[in-house]
Amino acid sequence: MEKNKGKIKIAMPKGRLFDKVNELMKEAGFDIVVNGRSYRPYINDPQIEVKLIKPQNIPKLVELGSQDVAFTGHDWITEEKADVVELIDLGFNPVSVVAAIQEKVNFNKLKKKKIRVVSEYENLTKKFLKRLGSEYVFIKSFGATEVFIPEDADMMIDNISSGKTLENNNLKIVNELLKSSTRMIANKQALKDPFKKKKIEDIIMMFKGVFNARDRVFMDMNISRDLLDKILPSLPAMKSPTVSELYDKKSYSVKIVVKKSEVNELIPRLKKKGVTDILVFNLEKVIP
């Protein structure tokens, strides 16, 4: 048995994002168990150490090397100006960081005044207002940014998914600063370490296998000998169908992996052509 050559440190995001990342980890074969209020969960891979950290703190910790790999939003990577490598876009929690003001306020008039702006994103906010050319007073918020307007602030900069919160508070978007989603990131030096680089690449391969599987199904069907050459050329597959002769020597079992979006159209077409015994299975991983 090969000796353990080392470990990689992975920062998992605390809060609502944890569940989605944890689900992906589990589907990829990594079981994480959180023990009460401990910030160091158990993981079933002895080559990995896991720590729970707030998404906002993650980018800098990865840049500094105290964590090798992590999951956090692109918005926080940009906000913290973190010098890290974005390995893969997981697509979780897609949001837009926007500037919003009261619905009844004229934005062109507001720009000429000293704007009271509230946000969790200090760097993104200051960069935007500098580009806008307006004088401003920055107010740091710690959640529920929309409650500051209109008494305590003129403008808010925050992330939104549907925009419902803005609508419910009579706010309108005047600018989109950036689009964001959850990224898997890595420390640059960690990627130069052969062991860590290989381990990270293996994890990414498993993740991609899970994403591929979520989009595809496995189909098994029986096709008679006289129909095989007519049907095979029209079958979708990742490369080509797998064909095995059945015991009766009169038919073949044909196996394919296809996109889920193709199944509802494919099954009636195959039945019409004489295909029988069609089975459809969900997949756990698909590694091309």
- Write the pLDDT tens digit of every residue in 77-97: 999 999 999 999 999 999 999
**Domains of the chain by residue range:** 8-91+182-213, 95-179, 216-282
Query: Of 76, 82, 175, 179, whose CA–CA distance to 131 is shortest?
Result: 175
Architecture of the domain spanning 8-91+182-213: 3-Layer(aba) Sandwich (3.40)
**Paired residues of 49 in beta bridges:** 9
With cut-offs at 50, 70 and 90, classify the pLDDT of residue 1: very low
| Nearest-angstrom CA–CA distance, 148 and 233 | 63
Mean pLDDT over 226-255 rounds to: 93
Q: Which two tokens stand for residue 76?
A: 């926080």
Answer yes or no: is pLDDT of 218 > 90: yes
Confidence (pLDDT) at 38: 82
Which range is least confidently modeled, 68-82, 187-201, 234-248?
234-248
Query: Of 198, 197, 199, 203, whose CA–CA distance to 184 is shortest?
Result: 203
Per-residue pLDDT of 148-183, as tens digits, reads: 999 999 999 999 998 888 999 999 999 999 999 999
SS3 of 202-255: the string is HHHHHHHHHHHHHCEEEEEEEEEHHHHHHHHHHCCCCCCCEEEECCCCCEEEEE
Per-residue pLDDT of 11-60, as tens digits, reads: 999 988 999 999 999 999 999 999 877 899 999 999 999 999 999 999 99
| CATH 3.40.190.10 matches 95-179 | yes
**Residues 180-206: b if buried by 16+ CB within 10 A, e if exposed:** bebbbbbbeebbeeeebeebbeebbeb
Architecture of the domain spanning 216-282: 2-Layer Sandwich (3.30)
Q: Do 95-179 and 8-91+182-213 fall under one CATH topology? A: yes
